């Protein structure tokens, strides 16, 4: 089996012969979380402030309770919800800034190797379908995946047990032979409760932020740390 290491350790490798299904998050895992953090932490408050005649600090004071209330719920990831509550087209604003969407280091090479492996590879993201569309226009992930799934299709965020139940119904997998990689430890905790055996997180989801000094789950900095045992990069 893979990932026989203590929680919080840096991964020395994955025993790929013990993995049949790879579930991958998108933002902070394959794509740099810098874009999303900047969008929600800076762009949204500044835009809201301009529209409402507020300082950025006043805008943050007004928005923070709403952010805190919805964090980790499906609404947190729903552009329709935020457009309605903030009073402007959040998707259009995100579309205008999409040039900032970028790969994490070695993520594309990792997908190339997975595509040539025996594994079924499934994207599971909390991103709203419109967010997924915007990002796919910038970086088309579809060639490397068997399925591209958003939590909105299942009516529950990945933090919820309902998401995992509905995912299993739609795309059955062997929990003991599945690797799930996500930058969110609350999402990984939900997968762990569901029985997914092999869990992995990232030490630097946002390239503009320092590495996490500790993680609850086994972690890597970049995907090239777990290339051993996968096919060499496929020719394209």
* pLDDT tens for each residue of 198-221: 999 999 999 999 999 999 999 999
> What is the average pLDDT across 77-105?
97
Q: State the pLDDT confidence band at 13, using cuts at 50, 70 and 90.
A: confident
pLDDT value at residue 220: 96
Q: State the pLDDT confidence band at 233, using cuts at 50, 70 and 90.
A: low
Average pLDDT, the chain: 93
**CATH architecture label of 16-32+103-226:** 3-Layer(aba) Sandwich (3.40)
> What is the average pLDDT across 69-90?
95
CA 169 to chain centre: 21
Q: Which residue has the tokens 């946002």?
A: 206
Percent of the chain with pLDDT over 90: 92
> What is the average pLDDT across 41-63?
97
Over residues 139-160, the pLDDT tens digits come to 999 999 999 999 999 999 999 9
Where do the CATH 3.40.50.1000 domains begin and end in the chain? 16-32+103-226
Does residue 28 register a pLDDT over 70?
yes
From the number of C-beta atoms within 10 Å of its C-beta (0-12, 13-18, 19+), residue 72 rates as middle
pLDDT value at residue 199: 97
pLDDT value at residue 232: 82
Does residue 230 register a pLDDT over 50?
yes
How far, in Å, CA of 133 to CA of 26, rounded? 12
Over residues 157-175, the pLDDT tens digits come to 999 999 999 999 999 999 9
Cα-based torsion angle of the residue sequence 179, 181, 182, 186 in order, rounded to the nearest 10 degrees: 30
Q: Answer for the pair 224, 106: CB distance below 8 angstroms, yes or no.
A: yes
């Amino acid at each position: 089996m893979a990932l026989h290491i203590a929680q919080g350790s840096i991964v020395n490798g994955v025993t790929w012969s013990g993995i049949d299904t790879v579930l991958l998050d998108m933002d902070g895992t394959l794509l740099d979380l810098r874009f999303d953090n900047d969008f929600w932490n800076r762009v949204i408050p500044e835009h809201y402030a301009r529209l409402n005649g507020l300082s950025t600090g006043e805008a943050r004071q007004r928005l923070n309770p709403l952010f805190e209330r919805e964090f980790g719920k499906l609404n947190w990831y729903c552009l329709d919800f935020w457009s309605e509550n903030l009073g402007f087209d959040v998707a259009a604003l995100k579309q205008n800034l999409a040039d900032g969407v970028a790969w994490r280091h070695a993520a594309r090479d990792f997908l190339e190797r997975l595509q040539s492996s025996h594994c079924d590879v499934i994207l599971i993201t909390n991103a709203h379908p419109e967010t997924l569309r915007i990002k796919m226009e910038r970086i088309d992930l579809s060639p490397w995946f068997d399925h591209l799934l958003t939590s909105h299709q299942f009516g529950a965020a990945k933090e919820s047990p309902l998401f995992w139940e509905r995912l299993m119904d739609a795309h059955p997998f062997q929990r003991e032979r599945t690797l799930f990689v996500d930058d969110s430890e609350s999402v990984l905790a939900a997968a762990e409760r569901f029985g997914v055996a092999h869990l992995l997180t990232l030490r630097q989801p946002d390239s503009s932020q320092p590495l996490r000094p500790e993680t609850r789950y086994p972690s890597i900095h970049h995907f090239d740390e777990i290339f051993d045992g996968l096919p060499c990069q496929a020719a394209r």
